[in-house]
Chain A
Amino acid sequence: MLLLGALVLYPIFFTIWRSLFDAAGSGFVGIDNYKSMFTRPDTLRAIQNNAIWLVFAPTLATIFGLFFAVLTERISWSRAFKAAVFFPMAVSMLASGVVWRLVYDQEPELGLGNALVQGVVHVFRPPGDYAGARPSQPDQLAPGGGAYTTRQAVPPGQSVDLGLIAIPPAELPKEPQRAQAPPAGGDPTSLRGTVWLDFTRGGGGKRGEIDPTEMGLPDVKVEALAGDKVVATDTTNGSGAFELKDLSQGSSYRVRLADSNFRPPYGGFYWLGPTLVTPAIIFVFLWIWAGFAMVVIAAGLSALPREVLEAARVDGASEWQVFRRVTVPLLMPVIIVVLVTLAINVLKIFDLVLVIPPGSSQSSANVLALEMWRVSFGGGLNQGLGSAVAVFLFALVLPAMIFNFRRFRAEQR
């Protein structure tokens, strides 16, 4: 009791008292620390972020937990599922932070998160085979909208040879074929040509000419344009040749290498950048605490009178109706306890926010518990302001304290 008094009760009053003094602790400043708490950008940002946390984190974790708890009732391996979702609760927030810092790595090559995002995006918008390539003769091909278009229109029957350079070796075809200029003559309604790598390995070779060892570029999408309208398309073959067919004689067309050839691989999200960092950390919180919500709600669920649920099913209610109209209302007391518990924990969130954001977005992710530490110990050394932040946190937790107090009194009667 003495210990509780000395290390818990007495500090509460001391901290409230201390929050009225300046950084050195000698000058009485009244409510100035509170004023600066609501005007300093750092603390203000922390208050905003705590509000975001408080709105989203407890509700989402509870919803996850509720669905998991209800759905696992219908599978035979629910114990294994619960263990899989619940185990992050046992692990330190520091370790969880490290785990997710790896997932959130911005490079899709390194971070699992962006690797998955990139994989999905590439299914719908595959990257071009020749990202980063440029024309070898800039006066022949003009850039625009990611594509390259000939500056001059060409009449059908003629041939156009388009040279590209700056293609990394990894993007080159595995079995290269020699590029060949199309034979003269041929169909007067089609435009023919070759797309090739205008670069001779080991030097030599001439710009704009298909030299003997230079290779053709396969699978390049080529379009014929009348004005801005695409009137014919083709894809180059193994030796880089294409043929744009069924054009009308007498008019001439510009030839475009489509932007999809040059589209760079999707870079993924900047998870830990200033805008996404707080949602990204909240997601880690969900990963940890959804298991808690699930276990507590599942315990409440197993205490529900089965007859009521069965009666509703017999009356022809669908599973969703049983869930909405019977299960959730009956579980409400448990759900509220879970929400309150999570809200208390959200207000105290510290480790995750310290570990996950890289230095550049630390201030965007700031929360009160972290700011309190930073201001009073981690370099700030303003214990007056730190005390004020702590008191503010305490005030935010008070409703939860009153809730617990009431619940406890009710249980005693």
Chain B
Amino acid sequence: MATATTSTAATTAGPPVRKPAGVASRITGALSRTSLQIILAVIAIAWMVPVFGLLIASLRTASDNSASGWWNAITHWHQLTFSSYSKLLQNDTIQHSIANTFFITIPTTVLVVFIAAMAGYAFAWVRFPGRDVIFLVVVCLLVVPLQMALIPVARLFDAVNLFGKIPGVVLFHVAFGLPFAIFLLRNFFAGIPGELMEAARLDGASELTIFFRVVLPLGLPAIASLAIFQFLWVWNDLLVALVFAGPESAPLTVAIQQQTRQFGSNIDVIAPGAFLTMIVPLIVFFGFQRYFVQGLLAGSTK
């Protein structure tokens, strides 16, 4: 229906005369600005309500949660309490896992950013044999499912006594974070005008000086995006930690996952725990949304 009228409407000249078009266009036509605003507002709220529900559920006791839905607390404010949180935070395993999350996430982020910045610079501006081929390999590695590496690396780590330890988890994350990181930074660094580097070379600057004085300052936005991405990726990881972390090195995600098998009866651990894992990413997201989006756009392949 719509297609039949389209061609005529498109070819007939004479601006203000609107042809009655197909059903679809009449629907969009009827969508006035106000109704569009209302629809989008409803969608936006609907998108946030589930998380709000988790927040409220985490602030109610287990018995309240098993008796009625979280929305009942909206009319019964007295149900809200921090008791689940304080109980959770006094739990040794949880305390330990929160520390582990930081011990895994921060070194990984620093290492990935550092190595990728150097490699990105090398791939962009240093001539060495096989450079382009190696970089193409890196591009291909971007999409390799990490399932491909779980079994061999587990054996490797077992052999060198890294299995079940934090350094092992960090190493694995670094290895699988690097292709994306190098890809992102190389592309950004390649966009830096070459004259700047030539001028520095003429002034007698070494490659290292150029890297620290020219490339790093100019590449700061890309590095910020990368750091945020890498941080969130590792913070939110479950699979890698599930395989490579032992009971002593498990991060918060693993600790919560282990509670989900008895979902209903452990809700007073799961709900506040899940909300705890969300807080840091949410702060990072709302604080650095611009860099987050940039990183996403620059490397939307991962």
Residues of A bordering B, CB below 8 Å? 1, 3-4, 6-12, 14-15, 18, 68, 71-72, 74-75, 80-81, 83-85, 87-95, 97-103, 105, 109-112, 115, 287, 292, 295-296, 299, 312, 314-321, 323-325, 337-338, 340-341, 344, 347-348, 350-351, 354-355, 358-359, 369, 372-373, 376-378, 383, 386-387, 389-391, 393-394, 397, 400-401, 404-405, 408-409
Q: How far is the CA of A324 from the CA of B270 in the complex (A)?
A: 45
Q: How far is the CA of A91 from the CA of B112 in the complex (A)?
A: 21
Given contacts A7-B156, A373-B239, A400-B143, 15 further A-B contacts (CB under 8 A): A7-B149, A8-B144, A18-B151, A91-B236, A97-B260, A102-B70, A103-B53, A112-B69, A316-B12, A319-B29, A337-B300, A341-B301, A348-B146, A376-B150, A401-B143
For residue B150, give the distance in angstroms from its CB to the closest CB of chain A: 7
Q: What are 26 inter-chain pairs, A to B, with CB distance below 8 A?
A: A3-B178, A4-B141, A4-B179, A6-B175, A15-B148, A74-B36, A91-B236, A92-B278, A98-B54, A98-B270, A99-B54, A101-B263, A296-B300, A316-B12, A316-B16, A318-B18, A318-B21, A320-B2, A320-B22, A321-B2, A324-B24, A337-B301, A351-B239, A373-B147, A376-B150, A409-B136
* Contact between B10 and A348, CB atoms less than 8 A apart: no
* Contact between A15 and B33, CB atoms less than 8 A apart: no
Q: How far is the CA of A292 from the CA of B178 in the complex (A)?
A: 22
* Contact between B274 and A391, CB atoms less than 8 A apart: no
| Interchain CB contact (< 8 A) of B139 among A9, A72, A355, A405 | A405
Residues on B with C-beta less than 8 A from A100 are 50
Q: Which residue of A lies closest to B174 (CB)?
A: A3
| Interchain CB contact (< 8 A) of A404 among B53, B236, B301 | B301
For residue A105, give the distance in angstroms from its CB to the closest CB of chain B: 8
* Contact between B18 and A316, CB atoms less than 8 A apart: yes
| Interchain CB contact (< 8 A) of B136 among A7, A14, A318, A405 | A405
Residues on A with C-beta less than 8 A from B139 are 404-405, 408
Any A CB within 8 A of the CB of B25: yes
| Interchain CB contact (< 8 A) of B25 among A12, A83, A318 | A318
Residues on B with C-beta less than 8 A from A325 are 6, 10
Any A CB within 8 A of the CB of B176: yes
Q: Which residue of B lies closest to A409 (CB)?
A: B136
| Most chain B CB within a 10 A radius of its CB, from A71, A337, A340 | A71
5 nearest A-B pairs in the assembled complex, by CB-CB distance? A92-B236, A7-B175, A90-B285, A11-B149, A11-B152
Any A CB within 8 A of the CB of B204: no
Residues on B with C-beta less than 8 A from A296 are 296-297, 300
Q: How far is the CA of A395 from the CA of B98 in the complex (A)?
A: 37
Any A CB within 8 A of the CB of B214: no
* Contact between A397 and B145, CB atoms less than 8 A apart: yes
Q: How far is the CA of A208 from the CA of B218 in the complex (A)?
A: 91
* Contact between B40 and A91, CB atoms less than 8 A apart: no
Residues on B with C-beta less than 8 A from A337 are 300-301
Q: How far is the CA of A12 from the CA of B147 in the complex (A)?
A: 10
| Interchain CB contact (< 8 A) of A295 among B115, B260, B293 | B293
Q: How far is the CA of A97 from the CA of B153 in the complex (A)?
A: 28
Q: How far is the CA of A349 from the CA of B148 in the complex (A)?
A: 14
For residue B132, give the distance in angstroms from its CB to the closest CB of chain A: 8
Q: How far is the CA of A354 from the CA of B253 in the complex (A)?
A: 12
Q: How far is the CA of A377 from the CA of B238 in the complex (A)?
A: 14
Any A CB within 8 A of the CB of B265: no
* Contact between B47 and A84, CB atoms less than 8 A apart: yes
Residues on A with C-beta less than 8 A from B263 are 101, 358
* Contact between A3 and B171, CB atoms less than 8 A apart: yes
Any A CB within 8 A of the CB of B277: yes
Residues on B with C-beta less than 8 A from A3 are 115, 171, 174-175, 178
For residue A2, give the distance in angstroms from its CB to the closest CB of chain B: 10
Interface string of B69-94 (1 = CB under 8 A from A): 11100000000000000000000000
For residue A113, give the distance in angstroms from its CB to the closest CB of chain B: 9
Interface string of B32-54 (1 = CB under 8 A from A): 01001100100111011111011
| Interchain CB contact (< 8 A) of B285 among A87, A287, A295 | A87
For residue B29, give the distance in angstroms from its CB to the closest CB of chain A: 6
* Contact between B10 and A317, CB atoms less than 8 A apart: yes
Residues on B with C-beta less than 8 A from A8 are 141, 144, 149, 175-176, 179
Q: How far is the CA of A316 from the CA of B171 in the complex (A)?
A: 59
* Contact between B136 and A408, CB atoms less than 8 A apart: yes
Q: Which residue of A lies closest to B172 (CB)?
A: A7
Q: Which residue of B lies closest to A17 (CB)?
A: B152
Q: How far is the CA of A11 from the CA of B157 in the complex (A)?
A: 12
| Interchain CB contact (< 8 A) of B151 among A87, A287, A383 | A383
Residues on A with C-beta less than 8 A from B29 are 318-320
For residue A353, give the distance in angstroms from its CB to the closest CB of chain B: 11
* Contact between A390 and B150, CB atoms less than 8 A apart: yes
Any A CB within 8 A of the CB of B261: yes
* Contact between A85 and B147, CB atoms less than 8 A apart: no
For residue B28, give the distance in angstroms from its CB to the closest CB of chain A: 4
Given contacts A8-B179, A91-B282, A350-B239, contact A295 B257 (CB under 8 A): no
Interface residues of B in 248-302 (CB under 8 A from A): 253, 256-257, 260-261, 263, 270-271, 274-275, 277-278, 281-282, 284-286, 289, 292-293, 296-297, 300-302
Q: How far is the CA of A316 from the CA of B40 in the complex (A)?
A: 26
Q: How far is the CA of A68 from the CA of B239 in the complex (A)?
A: 31
Any A CB within 8 A of the CB of B243: yes
Any A CB within 8 A of the CB of B142: yes
Residues on B with C-beta less than 8 A from A115 are 69, 71
| Interchain CB contact (< 8 A) of B178 among A4, A95, A377, A386 | A4
